[in-house]
Structure 1
Amino acid sequence: MDRGIFDALCWFNWLVGKNKFDERNFKDIERFLVMTRWRSVIDFIYVFTANPKVSLEREFSTLLTRKMGSIMHPDILMSYKETIEYSKKKYTDLFKTIEGIDTSGTVLNELNYKVTKNILDILERNTSEKIGYLNRDAVPRLDIWFPFDKIDILRDLEFDIRSKVEDDDKKLQPIPILVITNKEKTRVLVAKKNKKQTPPDSPESKKLLLYFGGHIREEDRIESEKKDLLSVSRYALHREVKEETGIDYYPDREYSPICIWDGSNDKSKKHLAMCYVMETDLDTLKPKIDKNEFANSGNTRSGKVLDVQKIEEIQDDLEAWGKIIFKNILNSSSKQMEIDLRVG
């Protein structure tokens, strides 16, 4: 991303240092530029520099004139280079990786090789997705349906490659999910997984889902101010719901989700649902369901809003979490218990 966030930070720091920009407005802009929402999607920052003499030689090599400009001047270039070095130190803890490369005496092909290799390494890491997990023995087993505050999780999340976590029976995977319903809880947005993207042994395979959400990734911990499970889950929920539906939703900080822990099969007992509820006007909601992850053919119910009465007729089509949500959250005639859920 050329001319990205870090580039802007360097320029504004330079302007302040030259008394060309006031400190108060700079602080406002700086807070905006270093928002976790922007920083969380940046894996690597390259800072390419050169000494002023080399910079000017490169600038004039393709020009007919050698007249210096207001920026392309030795003194200005040196002061800006110093600002870049200062900014690298100032923001190093805010970004995942900042690497400075002095290109003054670098052979172009060698530089291209190094940068390309680093980018390929990043892509490899990203394809080896790391997800969050808890020590299963450290989480007390309560009912299949219980408030989050009933469990005492003192340890922060740990992360490992998804395949390793999925294969380990001692690792419990928290899954933030969101039920999108109306205020009366008589209608709900539903979905069905794309069969090409869902393993046949998945509890969600060929089932109607009353929720959206997914695993907590390592980058969610970076975006979250705190590292505890509840804090990180809020950012994971926003990312997952945004990816799957195009909807922006952040739960209130005081919101405590309801947990669902289904031990009826080997796959489900490795996953702990953290269920949030979003009450909204479903008539004006315009979700954009991810067509790669969810079924989208014309005759499917996926991506549509269904009345509770209709869902009651097709309860067998729901997977285990959906059945619990239907009975305990939605305003159905078969509702077995009332739980006061505060909606963010």
Structure 2
Amino acid sequence: MGARETPEVKMSIQNKSNLQERAERAASLFPETARKTIVIEFAGTPKAGKTTTLSQINTFLKRCGFKVEIVVERASVCPIKDKKHVNFNIWTACTTLSQLLEKTQTPPRAEDPQILILDRGIFDSICWLRLMERLQRLRPSERKIVEDFLVIPDWRERITGVILMTASPADSMQREQGMLPVVGARGSIMNESVLQQMTIVARETAKDMQALFRVFEVSTSDEETKNKPQFTAEKVAELVLSLIEQQLQEEILHLPRTEVKGVFQSATTIDVNSARDLVAIFQSSGKYAPRQEVEADTGLVQALPVVVVRNASGQVLRLRRRERSEANPLHEKMVVWAGGHVRREDNHTGQAILKCITRELEEELRLRVTADSVTLLGAVYLEDGKSSVKHVAIVYEWRAPTDDVEVALSNAEFFERRGTSLSGKFVGLDEIVQEMNTAHNEEPWSDYIIREFLSKDAHHIQSRLF
């Protein structure tokens, strides 16, 4: 029999809130399942309860087991005195951005946080830029240049969600006065006119940028939250935990196995035309579900877009994969492709497979390519009873415009957050084919890709003997 619970321990377990149980479970899963640092930005109007709520969320998450760090509001340390000068906001935006990039590296440093809280970040900076434009402190053309800079996808997409806290100008002014009000005192920012403009701009920006940021407004002037800081903190904690749980629950694109087999018609590879049909079916009929569930169901096939990387001379980037587990069939294998699963978040533009390709190339090889620069070659599906029966490789090719890319990719090793890595070297196709003709390639997708899709560029390739 195990040790009996003391009354104190039993009472502690009984008194755990649902929020605490969820947070502790998420914290226990984070080291093994998180794909990146989760970044929560707090933005909004003055005296809306942002600082109080942010502090409560920080303490709660830490007590539940997360490594949390706050990037403090840069306005409080900005050396530029005029808060209405555009350079004030440029300074705060750039210093916050530098902290964001430092704390969300791939792979992460040992001291990097699991949860990063921005006390005003990129979204908030954009709101201020738009306010400066309304106040004639910034030309529209200048605002657009800075805004386009701040929403560069690599930076913007690091922000998991934005908590936009607002309050009515009257409530903000009352809270500013505190318990010892001074009649007639007004600041350059803390006055009803500017506060009203700030609220309008914040809400308009959230609407305009709903495709770029996930923004959740919490008004502390609403009846349910006004003068209720604990309820407000619980409401925000619910939002933050939902964002964390969504990031930990990787949902991937899949189809019923019967639909994939219907496209392949008992073949192992299909040409570019049939591959286009397969992509269209995934886009129109594919579903997303937690990866563990999909992996466990042999009746489902997962979309796995892969890319063959070539330089301008036609050499192929041959990669050695190193997986976290030696049991992984790809561990220490030589492959001619990079790629991965299509995630739900890839589908926000409706072109999930192309988005997956550009994301995977950036995550695995640090290559920043556009979707229109890759070419579909075909697809591979192996019904060998092993793990490959659960995946269909949708094969693309990306050719660098010059051979200069070799400087960045050859003999370099790229590490990912989960401990996997890739090292590569550009090799002539004839050399790869010669190796294939003299020895069995243990990674079958690469073998089929070379024989069926790249062989037109090689000489002396033998017919497949197995």
TM-score normalised over the length of structure 1:
0.77
Pairwise CA RMSD = 3.6
Query: What is aligned with 2:9?
Result: none
Is this contact kept in 2: 1:43–1:97, CA < 8 A?
Answer: no
Question: What are the residue-to-residue correspondences of 1:159-308 with 2, within 5 Å?
Answer: 159-194=288-323, 196-197=324-325, 200=327, 202-222=328-348, 224=349, 227=350, 231-252=351-372, 255-280=375-400, 281=403, 282-286=405-409, 289-290=414-415, 303-305=423-425, 307-308=427-428
Letter in 2 for 1:128: Q
Cα distance in 1 between the residues matched to 2:416 and 2:144: 41
> More displaced, 145-154 or 16-25?
16-25
Give the alignment partner of residue 72 of structure 1, picking from 190, 197, 213.
Answer: 190
Q: Deviations over 1:202-240 (max 9, x none)?
A: 442442222111000111111x3xx2xxx3212101111
Aligned to 1:341: none
Q: Partners in 1 of 2:394 and 2:146 — Cα distance?
A: 35
Per-residue deviation at 1:55? 3.0
SS at match of 1:285: helix
Aligned-pair CA distance for 1:49: 1.6
Distance 1:167 1:242 in 2: 28
- The 2-side partners of 1:102 and 1:173 are apart by 44
Structure 1: state its 5+ residue gaps. 297-301, 338-344
More helix by share: 2
After superposition, what is the alpha-carbon deviation per residue over 1:19-77, rounded to whole angstroms, capped at 9, x for unaligned? 555556656666666676666554422111223344345556699x9953322222211
Q: Number of residue pairs matched?
A: 323
Aligned residues of 1:244 and 1:288 also touching (Cα < 8 A) = no
Following TM superposition, by how much is the alpha carbon of 1:261 offset from its aligned partner in structure 2, in angstroms? 1.3
The equivalent residue for 2:111 is none
The whole-number CA distance in structure 2 between the counterparts of 1:97 and 1:158 is 25
Contact 1:47 1:99 in 2 (8 A): yes
User: What TM-score, normalized by structure 2, do the two folds share?
Assistant: 0.59
Does residue 1:136 correspond to 2:260, yes or no?
Answer: no
Aligned-residue identity in percent: 23
Q: Distance in 2 between matches of 1:220 and 1:15?
A: 34
- Cα deviation code 1:62-103 (max 9, x no counterpart): 99x995332222221123223333444444465444233326
Distance 2:314 2:241 in 1: 47
- Residue 139 of structure 2 is aligned to residue 10 of structure 1: no
Q: CA separation in 2, counterparts of 1:254 and 1:209?
A: 19
Range moving further from structure 2, 82-91 or 168-177? 82-91
- Structure 2: 5+ residue stretches without partners: 1-40, 42-118
1:47 is matched with 164
Contact 1:49 1:102 in 2 (8 A): yes
The code of the aligned residue for 1:212 comes to A
Q: Aligned partners of 2:296 and 2:237: how far apart in 1?
A: 33
Query: Which has the larger displacement, 74-83 or 207-216?
Result: 74-83
State how far apart, in whole Å, the 2-side matches of 1:12 and 1:109 are: 32
SS at match of 2:302: strand
